[in-house]
Structure 1
Amino acid sequence: MLAVTDLAGTLLGRLDADFSVRRDPERAAAMAAYMRDQFEYFGLAAPAVRAVERSAFAGLPRPTADDLRAVTLGCWERDEREFQYAACDYLRKFVSAADPGFVPVLRTLITTKSWWDTVDPLATRVTGDLVRAHPALVGTMDAWSADENMWLVRTALLFQLHYGEATDTERLFEYCARQAGHRDFFVRKAIGWALRHYARTDASAVRAFVETTPTLSGLSRREAMKHL
């Protein structure tokens, strides 16, 4: 059974109450349909989710690593997708409270209830910031870049998205080349996205990589070269 800290219990209780009173069944059905009926929804638009979060987070102390674990896993156990959005935003706000021991939790969040809407913020902000703070975790990214789970692969491809000049270019290109022939759309798209974004920092390096990597899919190639 998941251990719930006092802070987590308070925060989860606030989210439960505030999300429930704002429920919009008609909008919830439309949102679920848009997401291929993979998740249940309260039916809150993004601004309403942010409003609930601001109220729920207000006045609470900075979380410990245990609080962070309890909050995020507690949100992930709940059915409605808005809870997972709140968990991602809470992690973004307090990712500095996490340490390398948080990686198994992060892996759980990425590989369960997986879709781009939660994986991408977890990859580009949470994982990226955690690895930046603890560089030894690049070994975990190396392992994820070759994992059978496509969402871990996508995370490894995207974790450096906002690193700019601090990007490990060799590692980025290695990951992209390793997964160039991946069959899944979300991996091929992530390759193109990562390359296109890095082109803002070093366009010539991205152009050269694309031109010398014939195994890249057409989708990855088009995305990478979109602004070059």
Structure 2
Amino acid sequence: MKIFNEEIAILTTIFINNADINVKSKQEKFLVNNFQFYGILTSKRKPLVKSLLNKWNKTLPLAIKKELFRELYLQKNREFQYTAMEFLSLWWKQNLNFNDLDWLLLIIKHNIWWDTTDYFDNIIGVLIFSNSDISIRNQYLFKLINDSNFWMQRIAIQTQLMFKEKTNFDLLFTLITPLLLTPNFYLIRAIGWALRNAKRVNESKVNNFIKINNVSKKIISVINEH
């Protein structure tokens, strides 16, 4: 396995040189002090690392890209995870498939929170539904929805969030039905968003589902937002 000391050192220097203690305090508070930040706004950080990420994307073979993504993502400060995600965005569509799901999920379970799950849910969804075998992809989703880690459940719920007319309503309803009375804030939000987006595609189907199921008032409140 390649050691990425140089790449990590370059990014660390960039982050330290552009850190702002006031931004750091606000960012850490925003994520309930669960994670450490250097203190750099996304709008400032992205231009600072863009050329590096593009260079690594163009020059590194896929196996090394995957290793570099992992090493960046496993670093302590949140800026590294965001940078890793931006690096992944440059090449995952052309290079990852269903068989990469276990690899990717194992990495993103590290320091997982809503800001990372909400980035990866669409990627996970695209990779799962790229498998033409319905039984295999459904089995994978059921594995996620039954995971003891509720962030994995949130990802399962949100895999079709951006699918619009391609949404599999029966599958979505099957996934969320056991969780309709969950007290978990992050799952309530995920279910509400999933049903709200689905309702925009087929209002009658979602309304009928709500009518015949014991959907919590908190979820209904999320559905009716905006």
| TM-score (structure 1 length as normaliser) | 0.86
CA distance in 2, matches of 1:108, 1:150: 14
**2:38 paired with 1:39:** no
Q: Which moved more, 1:216-225 or 1:58-67?
A: 58-67
Q: Which moved more, 1:63-72 or 1:153-162?
A: 63-72
CA distance in 1, matches of 2:177, 2:61: 38
Contact kept? 2:128, 2:140, Cα under 8 Å: no
- Residue 15 of structure 1 and its aligned partner are, at CA, apart by 2.7
CA distance in 1, matches of 2:47, 2:54: 11
Q: Match for residue 134 of structure 1?
A: 131
Mind listing any 5+ residue stretches in structure 1 that lack a counterpart?
none
**2:52 paired with 1:53:** no
1:168-198, Cα deviation, whole Å (9 max, x unpaired): 1110111111221223110111000111011
CA distance in 1, matches of 2:155, 2:108: 8
**2:217 paired with 1:221:** no
Provide the secondary structure at the position in 2 that maps to 1:200: helix
CA distance in 2, matches of 1:10, 1:99: 29
- Cα distance change, pair 166–13 in 1 and its aligned pair in 2 (3 A): farther
Aligned length: 221
- Cα distance change, pair 66–101 in 1 and its aligned pair in 2 (3 A): farther
- Residue 11 of structure 1 and its aligned partner are, at CA, apart by 5.0
Contact kept? 1:110, 1:151, Cα under 8 Å: no
| TM-score (structure 2 length as normaliser) | 0.87
Mind listing any 5+ residue stretches in structure 2 that lack a counterpart?
none
1:62-112, Cα deviation, whole Å (9 max, x unpaired): 765423431222122211101111122222332221233322232223422
- Residue 12 of structure 1 and its aligned partner are, at CA, apart by 4.1
Q: Match for residue 150 of structure 1?
A: 150
Contact kept? 1:207, 1:225, Cα under 8 Å: no
- Cα distance change, pair 75–59 in 1 and its aligned pair in 2 (3 A): closer
Which amino acid letter does the alignment assign opposite residue 49 of structure 2?
E
- Residue 225 of structure 1 and its aligned partner are, at CA, apart by 3.4
Provide the secondary structure at the position in 2 that maps to 1:59: helix
1:17-56, Cα deviation, whole Å (9 max, x unpaired): 3223211123212211222211111111111122133122
- Cα distance change, pair 164–16 in 1 and its aligned pair in 2 (3 A): same
Contact kept? 2:15, 2:38, Cα under 8 Å: yes
Q: Match for residue 183 of structure 2?
A: 183
CA distance in 1, matches of 2:65, 2:41: 25
Provide the secondary structure at the position in 1 that maps to 2:192: helix
Q: Which moved more, 1:197-206 or 1:91-100?
A: 91-100
1:123-172, Cα deviation, whole Å (9 max, x unpaired): 12x21222233344442112111222100000000011111111111101
Contact kept? 2:180, 2:216, Cα under 8 Å: yes
